[in-house]
Amino acid sequence: MACAAWRNKIGAYADGELSAEDMLDVGEHLRGCASCTADLLSRVQMKRSIQTAGKRFSPSLALRQRIEKGLPPQKKPARLWNWMATLAATCALLLIVSLTFYRSGASQQGRTFAELADLHVTTLASATPVDVVSTDRHTVKPWFQGKIPFAFNLPELGGTPFTLEGGRMAYLEQAPGAQLIFKIGNHRISVFIFQDRRDRRFAPGDTLSRNVTFNMETWAGDNLRYFVIGDADPGDIHKLSELLKSTAGS
């Protein structure tokens, strides 16, 4: 069967709508056809992009309350628990909720760090690590205008051991942001800047993590979330972070 005929099925394959038999057939074809695999990949990327962009609106609490009020009153439980049982249940629930939040927060944090480490490595491995090549912050910063939905400041590096190499667009969980490459000695450090999200939790205050092999520091300010990552000395990562912090608020 020609690729054009397979393409008929690839849309449904990406949507998970083929029969088990067809799924196997398409899977078999994909293993040997780079063109159809690229087509599938692009469709999946499009779906993901739509999914992220489409979850856009959240209802107000007032609307929720209005709707709940419109529902008939709930039947009272036949028997009230005694206060001891209620207290014990509440304590247990609080414990479970705390543990769940702690664990999900920690794993989410780990995923974010791992994703950023991947982005950093990919950039260093790339033949064109930066899209805007300049050591001048007044060239790099305006390049991002219109490409990302926020603005940021960059520090004056004169008199510091750091040099700016340039910048590029980066995406974290489908959200656009800036990636800046700094150099110190033979080490390259990536600085990622994204809009801060309330649902993305990090340990309070600045975080220095060695969990991802690289040294990393992160903080939030002015609704932006900064990540500084690289294989440079933790002291250098911290110095660059401090430089960025001092400029961010200015």
Partner 1 sequence: MRGSFEELAMPLFDSLYNFARWLTHDREEAEDLVQETFTKALKGFPSFRQGTNFRAWMFRILRNTFLTSRTGLKSGMTVSLDSEEGESAAAVTAETPESLLLAHSNQKMVQEAIEELPVIFREVILLCDVEEMSYQEISETIAIPIGTVMSRLARARNALRQSLTKKLQGE
Selected from 1, 5, 20, 61, the binder of partner 1 by CB under 8 A is 5
Residues 130 to 149 in contact with partner 1, rule: CB under 8 A: 146-149
Closest to partner 1 by CB, 15 or 28:
15
DSSP string of 154-203, one letter each residue: ----TTSS-EEEEEEEEEETTEEEEEEEEEETTEEEEEEEEE--TTS---
Burial class (CB in 10 A: 0-12, 13-18, 19+), 183: middle
Q: Are 241 and 219 in contact (CB under 8 A)?
A: yes
The structure tokens 């690839």 sit at: 10
Q: Are 188 and 179 in contact (CB under 8 A)?
A: no
* Residue 39 binding partner 1, by CB under 8 A: yes
Contacts to partner 1 from residues 48-107, by CB under 8 A = 49-60, 63-64, 66-68, 70-75
> How far is Cα 65 from Cα 74, in angstroms, rounded to an integer?
14
Shortest approach of partner 1 to residue 61 CB, angstroms?
Answer: 11
- Give the β-pairing of 175-184 and 187-195: antiparallel
Q: Which of these segments, 8-16, 158-166, 183-191, 222-230, binds partner 1 (CB under 8 A)?
A: 8-16
For position 111 contacting partner 1 by CB under 8 A, the verdict is no
Q: Please, which residue, 46 or 124, has the CB nearer to partner 1?
A: 46
Chain contacts with partner 1 (rule: CB under 8 A)? 4-5, 7-8, 11-12, 15, 17, 38-39, 41-43, 45-47, 49-60, 63-64, 66-68, 70-75, 146-149, 174-176
